[in-house]
A = this chain, B = another copy of it.
Amino acid sequence: MSFLFTVIKEDSVSSARLGKILTSHGEVNTPAFMPVGTQGTVKSLTPEDMEDLSAEIILCNTYHLFLRPGHEVIARLGGLHSFIHWKRPLLTDSGGFQIYSISTLKKIKEEGVFFRSHLDGSSHLLTPERAVEVQEALGADIIMCLDECTPYPSSFDYTQGSLSLTTRWAERSKKAHTKKDQALFGIIQGGMHPDLRKQSTREIVGFDFPGYAIGGLGVGETKGMLYEILDTTVPLIPSDKPRYLMGIGTPQDLLEGAKKGIDMFDCVLPTRHARNGMLFTGFGNLVIKNAEYADDPKPIDPQCGCYTCQHYSRAYLRHLFMAKEILSARLNTIHNLYYYLNLMKDIRDAIRADRVEEFSCDFYEKQKTVLVNQGTTRSLYFVQ
């Protein structure tokens, strides 16, 4: 067995738990945040940078790698780990989400998804079997079933049909899966309808996957809806299996998700925000292009232990950003990923010390942030 998940400790107040995933490429301490390396690179950083940041697992997007350079090329070159020079655990998604969000002319049928490449307009059909085949060629430690990410908002009826398709595709994915050194995770859908989330969870859990993802969130719903869906869904997932909240989210989402029992997260927020000059700190976000930083000798966050904060002033980082220097993206990305990965470490430490609630109160106190229960998650991406 090359995939093993162990719950080490459960928090006495919240549903948070400390765990460990073992893969043939090493271990992942959970709750974990997985930086996103869409095209086979966490933008601007090397694998050594990621190791320095204590990243234990990264995510790559099957859709992008399937289209360019192609999974056969990567397989011929020894698989994704070797191709991108990353020795630690890897997760690939199924490609489904990007088809819905990036490609053109997509058409969902029982067979699979027809779509055109956003790169050259070429036509493709991604079936559940093909998604597994491509991911087996890439060779990540954790791979995902093809699903339909139900649009938001969607009616009860549409959502029910959609989750049923996702269930049938999960069954086909499992049948197609041959490589036992890769763990195939099921994905729970059901939109914003609690009853349908329950139905989807029951159906997907019925296939006994080694891990379960909660998909279809972070698509424009309110924070309240997001958290309600987690409250509905998580308790129905067997507690001995890792729970992965896909594509989420803000630091607040990570903390709240962990408190609700989520073990794995991924999101482009820290890396994308970094390139846009939006920097995370323990005391709120900092927009580096603001004129007030033009001759500010302080680091981004005087409390931060990252490479960027150890060596560079806000003034220099603002200069690099204004001058559109490549190093701007790199130094900002290091800072934001350090913030995210350090937050996860702090959450794990808090669970170990059985003081998650205290940690949570401290977190909000420092951020001086009011829990946003109104507004959509999408707008929050840009507001914060």
Residue tally, chain A, CB below 8 Å to B? 36
**Chain A 4-55 residues near chain B, CB threshold 8 A:** 39-41, 43-46
- A312 with B69, Cβ < 8 A, contacts A43-B325, A44-B326, A295-B76 known: no
The interface-forming segment of A77-85, A135-143, A208-216, A361-369 is A77-85
Q: Is A330 an interface residue (CB 8 A)?
A: yes
- A83 with B327, Cβ < 8 A, contacts A73-B295, A77-B295, A295-B73 known: no
Q: Is A350 an interface residue (CB 8 A)?
A: no
B330 touches A326 (CB 8 A): yes
B322 touches A68 (CB 8 A): yes
Q: Is A311 an interface residue (CB 8 A)?
A: yes
Q: How far is the CB of A230 from chain B (nearest CB, A)?
A: 34
Q: When chains A and B are docked, how far (Å) is the Cα of A175 from the Cα of B273? A: 49
Q: When chains A and B are docked, how far (Å) is the Cα of A197 from the Cα of B315? A: 43
A326 contact from B43, B68, B69, B73, Cβ within 8 A: B43
B residues near A297, Cβ cutoff 8 Å = 77-78
Q: Is A313 an interface residue (CB 8 A)?
A: yes
Shortest Cβ distance from A39 into B: residue: B323
A44 touches B330 (CB 8 A): yes
Taken together, the copies of this chain in the complex come to: 2
B residues near A83, Cβ cutoff 8 Å = 313, 315-316
B44 touches A316 (CB 8 A): no
Q: Is A320 an interface residue (CB 8 A)?
A: yes
Given contacts A44-B326, A68-B322, A84-B316, 12 further A-B contacts (CB under 8 A): A39-B320, A39-B325, A40-B319, A41-B320, A41-B327, A44-B327, A68-B323, A77-B295, A77-B313, A77-B316, A326-B330, A330-B330
A311 touches B68 (CB 8 A): no
**Chain A 307-335 residues near chain B, CB threshold 8 A:** 311-313, 315-316, 318-320, 322-323, 325-327, 329-331
Q: How far is the CB of A166 from chain B (nearest CB, A)?
A: 30
A41 touches B77 (CB 8 A): no
Q: When chains A and B are docked, how far (Å) is the Cα of A41 from the Cα of B318? A: 13
Q: Is A268 an interface residue (CB 8 A)?
A: no
